[in-house]
Amino acid sequence: MFRLAHRSSWFSGEDMKIFLLCLIFFSGCNNSQNSPALVFDFTENLNFTSDKIPDSEKNAVLKYVFGANFFHLAKADVVRKFSGSFTEPGTNQTLYLIRGGLNTDFENAARWQVETLAYVAVFDGVKPVFSEKLYTSDILKITDLNADGKNEILFESEFSNMGASTVSAHLRQIEAEKILDIKDFGNVYTDNSLSNEDCRQKAAKIFYLSFERKFDFSYFESDCGEPARQRELSENPFLEVL
What is the DSSP track for 132-148?
A: EEEE-SEEEEEE-TT-S
Domain that holds residue 148: 36-241
Q: How sure is the predictor about 195, in pLDDT bands with cuts at 50, 70 and 90?
A: low
Contacts of 172 (CB under 8 A, 6+ apart): 152, 153, 154, 155, 179, 180, 181, 182
Distance separating alpha carbons of residues 30 and 11, to the nearest angstrom? 25
Residue 224 zone, left/alpha/beta (φ > 0; ψ -120 to 50; rest): beta
Nearest to 146 by CA among 114, 182, 194, 196: 182
Q: Helix (H, G, I), strand (E, B), or coil: what is residue 201? A: strand
This prediction has a pTM of 0.78
User: What is the number of structural domains in the chain?
Assistant: 1
Q: Are 2 and 20 in contact (CB under 8 A)?
A: no
Residue 31 maps to a domain:
no
Residue 116 maps to a domain:
yes
Residue 183 maps to a domain:
yes
Residue 9 maps to a domain:
no
Residue 227 maps to a domain:
yes
**CA-based radius of gyration for the chain:** 24
Q: Are 97 and 78 in contact (CB under 8 A)?
A: yes
pLDDT the model gives residue 196: 62
pLDDT the model gives residue 210: 87
Residue 15 maps to a domain:
no
pLDDT the model gives residue 33: 55
Residues in a beta bridge with 218: 205
Whether 170 shows a pLDDT value over 60: the answer reads: yes
Whether 69 shows a pLDDT value over 50: the answer reads: yes
Residue 21 maps to a domain:
no
- Length of the chain in residues, anyone? 242
Residue 2 maps to a domain:
no
pLDDT the model gives residue 229: 75
Distance separating alpha carbons of residues 98 and 118, to the nearest angstrom? 5
Angle value at C-alpha 230, between 224 and 234, nearest 5 degrees: 120
Whether 207 shows a pLDDT value over 70: the answer reads: yes
